[in-house]
Amino acid sequence: MINTRVAVAIHILALIASKPHEDLTSEYIASSVNTNPVVIRRLLGMLKKAGLIQTTAGKAGAWLTRGPTAITLLDIFHAVEPNESLFAIHDNPNTHCPVGKGIQRVLDEAFGAAQTALEERLSAETLQDILHRLFVED
User: 73-80 vs 37-49: helix axis angle to the nearest 10?
Assistant: 110
CA distance 6 to 29: 15
pLDDT digits (tens, 9 = 90+) for 5-44: 999 999 999 999 999 999 999 999 999 999 999 999 999 9
DSSP string, 42-81: HHHHHHHHTTSEEE-TTS--EEESS-GGG-BHHHHHHHH-
Which residues lie closer than 8 Å to 124 by C-beta, 6 or more apart? 72
> Is pLDDT above 60 for 138?
no
Instruction: Give the whole-angstrom CA distance, residue 54 versus residue 63.
Output: 5
Which pLDDT band holds residue 137 (cuts at 50, 70, 90)?
low
Which CATH architecture best describes the domain 5-135?
A: Orthogonal Bundle (1.10)
pTM above 0.75, yes or no: yes
Q: How many CB atoms lie within 10 A of CB 64?
A: 17
**CA gap 134, 122 in Å, rounded:** 17
Tell me: pLDDT of 63 over 90: yes
Query: 74, 80 in Cβ contact below 8 A?
Result: no
Domain limits, the chain: 5-135
pLDDT tens, residue by residue, 77-118: 999 987 767 787 888 899 899 999 999 999 999 999 999 999
User: What is the CB neighbour count within 10 angstroms for residue 104?
Assistant: 15
Window from 65-79, 88-102, 120-134 with minimum mean pLDDT:
88-102
Indicate if the pLDDT at residue 2 is higher than 90: no
